[in-house]
Every structure is written in C-alpha cells, then in structure tokens.
Chains A and B, each alone.
Chain A
Amino acid sequence: MSLHIGIDVGGTFTDFVVLDPASGQLELFKVPSTRPASDGVISGLQLVMQRLGLKPEQIARLVHGSTVATNAILEGRWAKTALLTTEGFRDVLEIGRQNRASLYDLSVERPEPLVPRARRLTLSERLDYQGRIIKALDASQVKRLAPALKDAESIAVCFLFSYMNPAHERQVRTLLEAELQVPITLSSEILPEYREYERTATTVMSAALRPVVGQYLEALDRRVRELQIRAPLQVMQSNAGIVPAAQAARQAVSMLFSGPAGGVEGSRFIGDQAGFADLITLDMGGTSTDVSLVLGGKVGMRTEGVLEGRPVRMPMVDIHSIGAGGGSLAWIDAGRALRVGPQSAGSEPGPACYGKGSQPTVTDAQLALGRLDEKNTLGGRKLDRGRAERAIFDEIARPLGLSLEEAAAGIIEIADAQMERAVRKITVERGHDPRKFALLAFGGAGPMHAGSLARRLGIPTVIVPPVAGVLSALGLLVADRVHDLIQTFIQPVEAPDLAKMGRFFKQMQRNAEERLRDEAVESVKFSRMLEMRYRGQSYELPVELAGEVLTAEALAEAARRFHQAHAQLYGYEMADRPVEIVNLRLRAIGQTPKPPLKLSMNGAKRGSASRPARKVYFHEQGWLEAQVFEREGLAPPFKLAGPAVIEGRESTVVLMPHQTTCVDEHGNLIIACGGAS
C-alpha cells in the first residue's frame, strides 16, 4: 500500500487528506494550525501515521498547501532586499502607476515599497524598445556597487526592456555571484513581460520572499526526513499546479496566492466526477466569501493579483473575495438602510447565538429562521436561539419597524445580494452567463445560501460536496505539475518573425522540461497560447495556438479565435482591424496519476437519516414545515423535495420550496433549482 497525503494549512486548522490511490479510499484528519506552521504539519503527520498504523515508507507523496508567502507579506516579514535598476528609474517601484487606492480618502496610504529607497540602486545601462543596447552595462560599476549590497538577504534586478534582451540582467548576476553569497532574482526570468512597474513589483516580491519560503521549506523537508518519510515534498502554487519544494523558493512569488487554489482545484475535481465541467465555486466562511470559476473542466485563471496594494503578475486562480460571511454583522446606517458587513463578529465575540456578542450576524438570522438548529452543534458549540432573536429584534427589527422574521430574512437577502454581485463580477463582467454554470458550494455557510443565490442568478444546479471542509487538501492531491512561462513578443499576427517566435517557444519548452525533469510525471503536455489584441488596444486576450509546427495557417486560425473571443467577451469584433501578438505563453503540464473516480468516504454512517421536522421561514412563503435530514446517513437513491434542511458535520444545506435534491454516487448533494425566479 502506498498512500498520498495532502496537507493544507488554514488559519485555524491544518487539514490532512490521506488517499489510497488504488482503492480511492479517503481518510480525513484535522489538527490545530501552529506557528510556525511546520510544527502542526509534523505533529499532524505523526498523528496520521499513528492512527492509520502507517510505516514511513508507505507514504508515496506529500503535497503541501502553505500560506507562508502570503503571511510573510501580510505580517511584514519579508527579507531585506536590494533592487538594481536602470539609471533614472530608481523610484519606479515606489511611484507605481501614480494613482491612489481611494478617491475620496484624504488619509489614504500607499503600501510601503518592499525595497526602501536607500536599497534601490541604479546602474548606467539602457536598452531600447527592441532590446538593442543603447548604453552598455559597465562591469566596473557593478563591482563597485557590490559592497553596498553586503547586508542584503536577497537581490532583485530589473532593467527597462529586459524582456526583449536579458543580457544586461544576466551579466549583473554573473558579476555579483562572484562577489556575494546572496540569491539574485532577475526580472527577465521571473516575468519577461512588458510594463516596467508590474515586472519590477513582481520580481521584487519574488526576491523578498525567496529566503522566507526557502528557509521554511528546507526546515520542513528536514523534519519530514526525520520521520523517515522518503516521499518527495511538493507545494501548491497560485496557478493550482504543484512544484517540488526544492524548486519553489526560486520563484517564491508563485506561492503568493496559492491559499485558495487548492479549494478551487478540489472543486474542479468534484465537479468533474459529478459530471459538471462549468462551475461557479462559492466558499463562504465566517468573515468572507470567495468565488471562482471552472470553465470546461479547467480552473479559471487570471494574470494579475494584488496583495496589500502590491500588484503581482503571474497566472493565478481567478478568485474574487468579498467581505460577507456567516459572521458578518447586520447594522443600520446613518441613512436608515439595513447593512450587512463588511465588519464581522469574528470568533470573538462571534455571532450573538454563540452567547457572547449582542450584535446580530447572518448566522443569527439563519438560526432565528429555523434554518440552523439550536441543538445542532456548530463548531463544537450549542447555539442560543433566544439570544440571536433578541439581537435581531433589538438591533434591527424594532428600530426599522419590521417583524423579527422580516428583519432576519432581510439580513439573509442582503447577504445574498452581495454574493450575487460577486458572482456577476466573475461571470458577467468576464463575458459568461451564470445560468450555464452549476454552483458548487462549500465553506461553513456556503451550502445554506447556495439555494437562494442560485435562484437569484437563475443557476439551474447546486452541488454540495460531501468533503467540503477538506476540499483544499483534496485539491492538492489531484493537482498536476504546472509551469506557466511567458515571453513578450509584439508583432503583427499576419507576418510575425516565425523563426524568432519558434526560438522563443523552444526556449520556454526547454526551461519547462528542465524543471519537470527531476521527478517522474506520467506525461508532459504543452499548450501554447498567444496573447493578442487589436493594434492600439492595451489589454490582450489569450488564444490557443494549435499544432506543433508554427505555420501561417495556425496563426490565421489563432487570429480567428481572437476575433471570436473578443466578440464573446466584449460584444463586438473588428474583423478589418490589424491584430497583433503581444505575449507568447507556454503552459507545461506534468500530469500526476489521478485517483480512480470513485471516492468512498470513511466513517459514513448508514441508517436512519431522518430527524424531526421543524418550522423554517422562507422569504416568499413565510413559515413552512420542513423535513430535516442528517447528511451523513444519506446515500443513493435518496431524493427529497424542499422545503427541507440537511444537516452535516461541517455545514447545513437549505433546500428552498420547489427545489429538489438527490445524492449521487460520490456522496454529492445535487440540487435542482428549476431555473430563474
């Protein structure tokens, strides 16, 4: 028996998923998260081995989802970094795009640059827009600078137009490597893409995280070896692909948005199993909600993210977050409108029903309307329905002249309206019709809102997976090895320099192969994309480039796809306008072995799932008698018509009137919503 273990470190818990790839059997474990996170990872591994009676050699794979990079930025613990840049452009990193984050806030702040001015040094050198050298790099100047870099823990190099010609950046590295023992990160390797601020910011971010990520993963790897585990350690990246731990530090920035990527990848897998290739994922927790897309069985990606006001350009899972969750506070503003969030009750004092706070939250509204059961323990505690009702009545209903039910239903409706807006942002604003998707809901509060949200958006199907709470850890085990490479190449699509283009693609392919060579992957697939635009535009669209050989026909086909994609996204195309290629992209996918499609859950109880019915309030119908079931006892061919409540260990599903649900062979609840309201 050889097992795969996925380890996902969250804010509160570190989740472990142990998968037997031969049988599809899954085991789930949770331990409290720790500082440093590696303590919890190691003690959890020991727990898993002890509970399952595992020998170290039975573990064949370890995949780790870590927020070490994100936390380092959020907590200001990045490495002391120096930046070398073109003379005259010392402050590109600080000036940014010269805009402010808030239009009307006179106390607005700009995020502190990761490299302060004193450690931003310039070198006399210059390339033109085609990468031709206008001013050669002066090697003696680099040597003279070296002493000033002595106390830096990491160095970033970013010259203007280096994406057209990396020679100067490489020369600097060679010269400095002879003098210093510090990791050097080149913009032409991290992001050979035009737009100097974004390239500099991304390169600096990567350099500043490199020692942090490197030290964490080295220490973790060492401790894993101390447990006699020989399995390779891999980590999740922002693009929902995994890399060997040993490679991760070199492009540390790629881990920055990896936190939620596992959950989306896990959702993709669950959706695939259930037969849904187009998904909107809804992860609603206590303080926030994340939404993302799976399109045609692929995780929806974007190319830029922002953390604390600092942009990072690289392919990452396209996740939109809003500050509305189960713990969001309901309040009345100065104009007498009922508001929900963005303030949250957090875990202290928590929703009123937890017995401490007196401010009502979304969770309190759910409880007051009978959707949550006071006897059902949530997160290990009993809920105080009387206290929830009092909070809603005193703070909301009475001041606004509403009944308790109206106020509670209003709180939920407003939270739903905010989530509807979030879903529209990632669908409609990206040219997708939400009615063509299934909604996959997880997180503590997601399944409670999914039914009503689906009605608002006209989404026909809701999926509630059985393992929602550990979706992220599962995602780690089903993810592929993925490398995304980019090269700016601005040329007209009708007559590009094919030889040069071919060389670029070959070079990217060689890079990717090199990174994939170190361990066994089942097979490597390359997909080539062209990012194109109408000449004069400044945002590009990715289009697939078909075929192995670069031909005029393949390019003409890509141009046709571009017109189509433009029409889909923006509603019009301009067939008579010249189209240009802006970036070449290569995605190398090293496919990892996939577990068999049938996952069976451990510990699923069989037997009577039915619980006593109770009254549940619905906005349109009022109080209705709702059937109540326990999630764990449900198995096919179970079918149910709403109104009903299905209570699980991790979350509660609310089935609206006129919605029906069944359990599929994988244990998913599949809810038929019957189209738009």
Chain B
Amino acid sequence: MIDPITLEVLKNAVIGAAEEMNAALIRTAYSPNIKERRDCSCALFDAQGQMVAQAENIPVHLGAMPFSVKAALEHFEEFERGDVIVLNDPFAGGAHLPDITFVTPIFVEAQLLGFAANRAHHADVGGMRPGSIAGDATEIYQEGLRIPPVKLWRSGQLDHDLWSMILSNVRTPQEREGDLRAQYAANEIGRQRLIAIAQRYGIPTMEGFFGEILDYAERRTRVAISKMKPGRYEAEDFLDDDGIDDQFVAVRVTVTVEPEKITVDFSGSAPQVRGPLNAVFAVTASATYYTLRCLTDSEIPPNAGCYRPIEIYVPEGTIVNAQLPAAVVGGNLETSQRIVDVLLKALAPAVPDKAIAACQGTMNSVTFGGINPRTGEPFTFYETLAGGFGARPNKDGIDAIHSHMTNTLNTPIEVLETLYPVRVERYEIREGSGGAGRFRGGNGLIREIRALAHLSFSLLADRRKTPPYGLAGGSPGACGEDLLIRTKATIRLKAKGSIQLEPGDVIRISTPGGGGFGNA
C-alpha cells in the first residue's frame, strides 16, 4: 500500500527521471529536427509495459508510445540486461516510419523492473522521397525502411550488422548515427535513474508506486470526466483527399459521455485510402487521448491509468485504423489533426466553456533535399509550418502558431540558409485568413522559399479544400494555398505531392486560418 506522501514523492522522482531522459535526448541528438524542433518524447514503463511517466514535447507521441513497448513485449519472450529494442513499424508499435523508437528493459539484479523508451522523428529513413514524407506514396514499402521490433543491442553488445543495414537504407547515415546514439544514451539515463530510485526506496515500494500512480491518474480522469455533460455526441469532418484520388475522406465519430467513462466510436469513417493519409490505431488513440486531455484536466500526469476510463472502437481497414500495406506517413501528420477536429466538434456541447473552433488542422509538412552544391553531399531537410489557432469561447485565436498534435519549433532562417542552398524570402502572418466571429480565428502564415540549386521538394498538407470550421456561428478560417512561382508562370501545387525545383524557383505556402467563434 502506497501512502499519499510516498506517491507524491515518487511521482516527482519518476517524472523527473523521464524529464532527464528528454533533456539528454534533445541535448545529445545530432539533427536539427530533434535538437532544434524537439520532435521527440521519452517515457518510463512498468514491467507489464504500462506507461508510468512521460515527458512528451509533442502531443502526437502522447499515448502512442505504449504501443511500442507492447510490441516489444509481444515480439520477445525474454529480455536480458543490456538489450535495446528498436522499431519504427507502424503495424508493430510505431506510428509512421520516420519516428524511430528505442525500448530498453530495466533490470535490478535479476528482476525486470520496467522499461525506458524514447521516440524521435528522423529527418530521413529512406524510401521514395528525401525526408521520407512522400505525399504520393501508395504503400508503406515506398515510405522508407521498415523496422519491426529488433534487438539492436543484445546483452550490451551492438549488433553491427543490423546497425549497418539500417544506415545503408537512409540518405544521411552520419546524421542518423548521431541521433540513434542519442536515443540510446537517453534510455541509459532513464535506466540508471530508475534503478537509483528503486535502490533508494526498495523494489516493493517501487512496484506499489507503479500500481498506485496508475490508479491515481485513473481516479482523477474519472473525476474530470464526471464534470462533462453526459450524452451521445456525433460529428464528421473531412480530409481534402488522400493525395492520389481526388475525393474527400470522411472521419466520423460518435462519443458517449457517461459519468466517469467515455466511449469513442469511429464507425462510419472512410475505408483506408491509396494515398499516405492512413492512420494506424496508435495514432488514432493518441489523437483521442490528446483531445480528452485538453477537455478534462491537463494537470493529470499522463500514464496508462488515464486511458482506463476511455474506450475506443475503430473498425479495421478504415482511415483511422489502417492495415498493411497502407501508406501511413500522413496519418500521423494530417489525419491525426482531423481526428482532433472531429472530436472537438462532437464534444463542444459537452464542454461548451472549453471547446474551441477548428485550428488550422494540418502540419504543412515541407521536405526538400538533393545534393548541396556547397559541399557536394546529399542532404534532406524537414519542417512544418504553423497556422491559425481556432477562436475560443472567450477570446480570439492566435496567429501563426502550431496547434493540437504538433508543437515543433521552426528552424531559424539563419540556420536554414547557412546549411542548405535555399533562401527564405518571406515569413509573415497571413492577414485576413482567420475566420470572422465574435472572436476571430487566428491567421495563418506565409512562407516563401527560393531554391538556389536543383531540389526535390515534397509537400504534405491539408485544409486546402475543406476549411477549418467555425463554432457557435463563427465563420470558417481560410483554406491554405500552395504556389510555385517561376519567372514565366505561377502554378498552383498539389498539397500532397513532390516536384523538382530549378534554381530560382520560389515556393509560396499560405497556411490555413483558424475558425471564428460566435456570431460576428
């Protein structure tokens, strides 16, 4: 039995340990994507694979990481001290291929105490397009190297064959190597720290704590849910298209709020698509947990206990629970945002003081790469662009800011131009793009990038045809727009696709505004 004091003291220690992992990962990583943009998260798990503490930098990792540890537990009958499991397979514990997850079992003497895990977005994992975010992929095999749960370290020994196999399949192996080492080091920090805590308090106390912290989060979640208005709520929203077939893709949900319990049913959502917009179940779960966290009590420590009062039904083979060999990279990036939109829309009547109009609803993933003429070396670069934040029940939305499932930083223009053959010509708020209403939706932004060399350029974005909705009578935000500006002509680009840029070409991306709230 864990008393309320030990619970709080160990909660500080264990969440602190996850934060120490996170600090180590960000500081030791090699690529700007992890160091500057912090596209990574760390967590600690008990011996059964239940998440007990998480330090996440972006919400899309919330609640998705446990699937990795579960997959590791399913794949391997036993673990040795010094094993490290690595995976990125969306159909076995991953979310999309660029997110590589490390899982390290933690032993105190002979006993398995738990696991340390971390996930980081790698700027390239091979596949048909530099940056591995191909807007035109139709099956996962085109999206990059697929790593099922494998032991990259066995009993402390690195499997050099596997290591070189992974590095041989990516475009920037040096960078990957640095990032993979940082991921290894972060789990080591988590392992050492958890062992030190266990040694101080004893293993029985530690195990008791793991049980109690989950029960504690569950209790608090149930209390928070009981403050929502019970009822059955439905909504639908759409993705513009899947990048291949020109038709809207529906996401539908029915949410049943009962006292202390929520059931989320995605029946009626579109079948999985040919293009890369398919979300695997981990992503759908993650977006659901995110939304409920926003609408209940975000102070509850995120762990497996929070999820016990939440049931999710997702029919297999749909856009929100895709099966092999679906292409999935955009499920994590785009469909996750639409899942949040549809859930917020459905639940607005249940929590009228918290629900907000639609945010931009896309991440505007921009990837480019090629041979850098300054060095003769291949390079890839990945960034996401902010947009309008939805208006709130009591105030305007925010201009040019990341919303919902992402929160990654931009890469400074002075870093970008120093490293790569491009010039940024404009980075400004897109005036007038926020939806009107009693409270105005946030404006999107405009970013113009000029190619200074031959570049392969990919875009993966949405909300170019279906605007972010307004709430309570507010107007929708403006759709996004993507242009290729050449000396002789300006061409409207597909929001999901790749092109070759000539030196001098300019890409102008205008991101969507947020929806307005209330009648103007």
Known: A105-B294, A106-B354. A335 touches B5 (CB 8 A): no
Q: Is A94 an interface residue (CB 8 A)?
A: yes
Residues of B within 8 A of A569 (CB): 27
Give which listed residue, A100, A105, A196, A406, contacts B401 with CB less than 8 A. A100
In the complex the two chains form, what is the Cα distance from A161 to B417 in whole Å? Answer: 10
Closest to B395 in A: A107
Residues of A within 8 A of B24 (CB): 429, 570-571
Given A195-B412, A198-B412: 10 more A-B contacts, CB < 8 Å: A89-B413, A99-B401, A107-B395, A117-B429, A194-B418, A335-B220, A414-B8, A429-B20, A537-B29, A677-B200
In the complex, which residues 110-166 of chain B have their Cβ closer than 8 Å to any Cβ of chain A?
none
Known: A335-B220, A537-B30. A160 touches B414 (CB 8 A): yes
Q: Is A246 an interface residue (CB 8 A)?
A: no
Give 17 A-B contacts (CB < 8 Å), ordered by A residue.
Answer: A89-B428, A94-B429, A97-B409, A98-B385, A107-B392, A128-B417, A129-B417, A335-B219, A336-B219, A337-B4, A338-B7, A402-B3, A410-B3, A410-B5, A537-B178, A538-B32, A569-B27
Residues of B within 8 A of A414 (CB): 5, 8-9, 12
Q: Is A178 an interface residue (CB 8 A)?
A: no
CB distance from A512 to the nearest CB of B (A): 25
Q: Is A88 an interface residue (CB 8 A)?
A: yes
Contact assessment for B409 and A337 in the assembled complex, using a CB-CB cutoff below 8 Å: no
CB distance from A198 to the nearest CB of B (A): 8
Chain B residues packing against A (C-beta within 8 Å) = 3-5, 7-9, 11-13, 16, 19-20, 23-24, 27-32, 35-36, 56, 58-59, 174-175, 178, 181-182, 185, 188-189, 200, 216-217, 219-220, 223-224, 290, 293-295, 297-298, 300, 354-356, 385-386, 389, 392, 394-395, 398-403, 407-410, 412-415, 417-418, 423-429, 445, 448
Give which listed residue, A106, A160, A420, contacts B413 with CB less than 8 A. A160
Contact assessment for B407 and A94 in the assembled complex, using a CB-CB cutoff below 8 Å: no
CB distance from A504 to the nearest CB of B (A): 17
Known: A129-B417, A194-B418. A109 touches B398 (CB 8 A): yes
Residues of B within 8 A of A413 (CB): 5, 9
Interface string of A522-545 (1 = CB under 8 A from B): 000000000000101111000000
Contact assessment for A490 and B418 in the assembled complex, using a CB-CB cutoff below 8 Å: yes
Give which listed residue, B3, B181, B293, B400, contacts A95 with CB less than 8 A. B400
Closest to B33 in A: A538
Residues of B within 8 A of A424 (CB): 16, 20
Known: A106-B294, A335-B216. A570 touches B28 (CB 8 A): yes
Residues of A within 8 A of B297 (CB): 334
Interface size of A in residues (CB-CB distance below 8 Å): 68
Interface string of A353-373 (1 = CB under 8 A from B): 000000000000000000000
In the complex, which residues 373-431 of chain A have their Cβ closer than 8 Å to any Cβ of chain B?
400, 402, 406, 409-410, 413-414, 417-418, 420-421, 424-425, 428-429
Contact assessment for B412 and A570 in the assembled complex, using a CB-CB cutoff below 8 Å: no
Closest to B390 in A: A106
* 10 tightest A-B CB contacts, nearest first: A410-B5, A104-B298, A335-B220, A98-B386, A88-B426, A97-B409, A335-B216, A570-B28, A417-B9, A417-B12
Q: Is A110 an interface residue (CB 8 A)?
A: yes
Contact assessment for B216 and A428 in the assembled complex, using a CB-CB cutoff below 8 Å: no
Q: Is A16 an interface residue (CB 8 A)?
A: no
In the complex, which residues 316-356 of chain A have their Cβ closer than 8 Å to any Cβ of chain B?
332-340
Contact assessment for A337 and B9 in the assembled complex, using a CB-CB cutoff below 8 Å: no
How many A-B contacts at CB < 8 Å in the complex?
A: 200
Contact assessment for B427 and A103 in the assembled complex, using a CB-CB cutoff below 8 Å: no
Residues of B within 8 A of A108 (CB): 398
Give which listed residue, A92, A98, A110, contacts B409 with CB less than 8 A. A98
Contact assessment for A91 and B429 in the assembled complex, using a CB-CB cutoff below 8 Å: yes
Among B27, B181, B445: residue with most chain A CB under 10 A: B27
In the complex the two chains form, what is the Cα distance from A590 to B8 in whole Å? Answer: 48
In the complex the two chains form, what is the Cα distance from A107 to B395 in whole Å? Answer: 8
In the complex the two chains form, what is the Cα distance from A97 to B409 in whole Å? Answer: 5
Q: Is A219 an interface residue (CB 8 A)?
A: no
Closest to A570 in B: B28
Residues of B within 8 A of A109 (CB): 398
Contact assessment for A417 and B8 in the assembled complex, using a CB-CB cutoff below 8 Å: yes
Q: Is A442 an interface residue (CB 8 A)?
A: no
Known: A98-B409, A99-B402, A569-B27. A334 touches B220 (CB 8 A): yes
Residues of B within 8 A of A537 (CB): 29-30, 35, 178
In the complex the two chains form, what is the Cα distance from A572 to B182 in whole Å? Answer: 9
Contact assessment for B448 and A88 in the assembled complex, using a CB-CB cutoff below 8 Å: yes
Residues of A within 8 A of B389 (CB): 100
Q: Is A90 an interface residue (CB 8 A)?
A: yes
Q: Is A197 an interface residue (CB 8 A)?
A: yes
Residues of B within 8 A of A90 (CB): 428-429
CB distance from B289 to the nearest CB of A (A): 10
Q: Is A307 an interface residue (CB 8 A)?
A: no
CB distance from B460 to the nearest CB of A (A): 17
Closest to A199 in B: B414
Give which listed residue, B11, B217, B295, B414, contacts A195 with CB less than 8 A. B414
Q: Is A574 an interface residue (CB 8 A)?
A: yes
Closest to B58 in A: A103
Closest to A104 in B: B298
Give which listed residue, A103, A409, A429, A574, contacts B59 with CB less than 8 A. A103
Give which listed residue, B12, B13, B410, B428, contacts A97 with CB less than 8 A. B410
Known: A99-B402, A414-B5, A572-B181. A129 touches B414 (CB 8 A): yes
Contact assessment for A95 and B429 in the assembled complex, using a CB-CB cutoff below 8 Å: yes
CB distance from A341 to the nearest CB of B (A): 11
Contact assessment for B16 and A338 in the assembled complex, using a CB-CB cutoff below 8 Å: no
Contact assessment for B174 and A89 in the assembled complex, using a CB-CB cutoff below 8 Å: no
In the complex the two chains form, what is the Cα distance from A128 to B424 in whole Å? Answer: 10
Residues of A within 8 A of B27 (CB): 539, 569-570
Contact assessment for B9 and A88 in the assembled complex, using a CB-CB cutoff below 8 Å: no
Give which listed residue, A94, A194, A536, contacts B30 with CB less than 8 A. A536
Give which listed residue, B12, B217, B401, B418, contacts A420 with CB less than 8 A. B12
Residues of A within 8 A of B295 (CB): 106
Give which listed residue, B59, B402, B417, contacts A104 with CB less than 8 A. B59
Give which listed residue, A94, A98, A103, A336, contacts B56 with CB less than 8 A. A103
